[in-house]
Structure 1
Amino acid sequence: MSSAAGQSRHQVRFEWGSTGGMLIAERADVAVVVDVLSFSTTLSVAVDRGIVVLPYPAGRPDAASYAAQHRADLAATRDRSDPERLSLSPASIRAAGVIDRLVLPSPNGSAISHGLAPQVTTVVGACLRNAVAVANWIAREHDAETATIAVVAAGERWPDGSLRPAVEDLWGAGAVLAALEDHDWPGLSPEAAMAADAYRLVAGREQSHLRACASGLELIEGGFGADVDIAAEVGSTTVVPLLSDRGFIAAP
Structure 2
Amino acid sequence: MQWFSQGKFEVRLEWGLSAVEHLAGEVDCAVIVDVMSFSTCVSLAINNGADIYPYPWKDASALEYGMKIGACTASPDRRFCGEGYSLSPASIKNICKGEKLVLLSPNGSAVSFKARDAGIAVFSGCFRNMSATANACRSFERVLVIPCGERWPDGSLRPCIEDYVAAGGIISAMGRENCSPEAQAAAATWQHYQGENMQLLRSCSSALELTQRDFHEDVDLCLEVDKSKKECRLWGDSYMSAFASKSSS
TM over 0.5: yes
Hey, what's the Cα distance between the residues in 2 that align with 1:225 and 1:3?
A: 43
2:144 is the counterpart of 1:150: yes
Structure 1 residue 64: deviation in Å? Answer: 1.6
User: Quick check: which one's helix share is greater?
Assistant: 2
What's the counterpart of residue 234 of structure 2?
A: 243
Give the aligned residue type for 1:153.
P
Q: Contact (CA 8 Å) 1:206, 1:232: kept in 2 or not?
A: no
Hey, what's the Cα distance between the residues in 2 that align with 1:53 and 1:113?
A: 12
Q: For each residue in 1:121-168, what CA deviation from the matched residue of structure 2 results, as whole angstroms up to 9, or x when unmatched?
A: 2100110011111112222x33xxxx1100000000000000000100
> What's the secondary structure of 1:114's corresponding residue?
helix
What's the counterpart of residue 199 of structure 1?
A: 190
What's the counterpart of residue 215 of structure 1?
A: 206
Hey, what's the Cα distance between the residues in 1 that align with 2:10 and 2:35?
A: 24
Structure 1 residue 54: deviation in Å? Answer: 1.1
How many pairs were matched up?
243
Give the aligned residue type for 2:75.
A
Hey, what's the Cα distance between the residues in 2 that align with 1:136 and 1:90?
A: 24
What's the counterpart of residue 20 of structure 2?
A: 21
Hey, what's the Cα distance between the residues in 1 that align with 2:130 and 2:170?
A: 5
What's the counterpart of residue 233 of structure 1?
A: 224
Give the aligned residue type for 2:159.
P
Please list every run of 5 or more consecutive structure 1 residues that lacks an aligned counterpart in the other structure.
none
Q: Contact (CA 8 Å) 2:230, 2:241: kept in 1 or not?
A: yes
Alignment of 1:47-196 (within 5 A): 47-80=46-79, 82=81, 85-96=84-95, 100-139=99-138, 141-142=139-140, 147-181=141-175, 185-196=176-187
Please list every run of 5 or more consecutive structure 2 residues that lacks an aligned counterpart in the other structure.
244-249
Larger deviation, residues 5-14 vs 121-130: 5-14
Shift in CA distance, 60/4, structure 1 to aligned 2, threshold 3 Å:
farther
Q: Contact (CA 8 Å) 1:57, 1:110: kept in 2 or not?
A: yes
- What TM-score do you get using the length of structure 1 for normalisation? 0.90
- What TM-score do you get using the length of structure 2 for normalisation? 0.91
> What's the secondary structure of 1:194's corresponding residue?
helix
Structure 1 residue 99: deviation in Å? Answer: 6.0
Hey, what's the Cα distance between the residues in 2 that align with 1:78 and 1:195?
A: 32
Structure 1 residue 250: deviation in Å? Answer: 0.5
